[in-house]
Structure 1
């Protein structure tokens, strides 16, 4: 394997780790802020979503965020995040405009990153890849 190919693979893996890390941190912080937040419960209730789902929504952001960072179940986690982002774009913001009030530009970027993770996988800098490399005799 040529040096250029090795450098390209290392760069690709680093980029995928960076995408997963950024997405994970965003969703952990965003979801964590919803735990025990009565304002969030009132807000989702005003949109016709039962307030009892607040904890599930928070968990649906925090858990995939953690899994993305450590590199386990990334495609499933990114799929959950994709569903959340489609809901944010169409249900919460009504897909009214790309920018400005209720702009969806940030939501679209998060959706795009989630779709890249679904298609491309986590890259080699992930716990799932490390586990695959453990020799069978150690299991």
Structure 2
């Protein structure tokens, strides 16, 4: 490998870690807000029962944490993609890309979640570190 290829490879790993971390933080912050009782009161206006408050909040917080540490990243990306498709089409009705009720931010989060789901966590992740731990096979 040439020096340029090594630097490019390291840069790719750092970029994937950055993407995972940024998306993870965004989903953790948005998910934590959904634990507020006011969110449960707003759910019937969105066509969802109030009992969905905790599952919706957990569906954002837990994958967000897993993305940051780099474990089950593909599964987390898939789950967050499903959450974002629901937000775009069920909650916001995909009425407008920008402005009030716009889905531009949701589309960006969906795209980033799909990239993580397809590309995986990269080499700077706990999943990669676990693969390198020597194992004893009996």
- The TM-score, its normalising length taken from structure 2, stands at 0.96
Residues of 2 paired with 1:6 and 1:69: CA distance?
24
Moved more, 60-69 or 38-47: 38-47
Query: Displacement, 1:137?
Result: 3.6
Residues of 1 paired with 2:49 and 2:122: CA distance?
37
Q: Deviations over 1:86-107 (max 9, x none)?
A: 0110011110111111111100
Query: Displacement, 1:80?
Result: 0.7
Residues of 1 paired with 2:5 and 2:136: CA distance?
31
> Which stretches in structure 2 are left out of the alignment for 5+ residues?
none
Question: Who is 2:44 aligned against?
Answer: 45
Q: Deviations over 1:54-83 (max 9, x none)?
A: 011101100000000000000100111000
1:19 is the counterpart of 2:19: yes
Query: Displacement, 1:42?
Result: 1.4
> Which stretches in structure 1 are left out of the alignment for 5+ residues?
none
Root mean square deviation, CA, Å: 1.1
- Structure 1 stretches (4+) deviating beyond 3 angstroms? none
Question: Who is 1:28 aligned against?
Answer: 28
Question: Who is 1:58 aligned against?
Answer: 57
User: Secondary structure at the residue paired with 1:136?
Assistant: coil
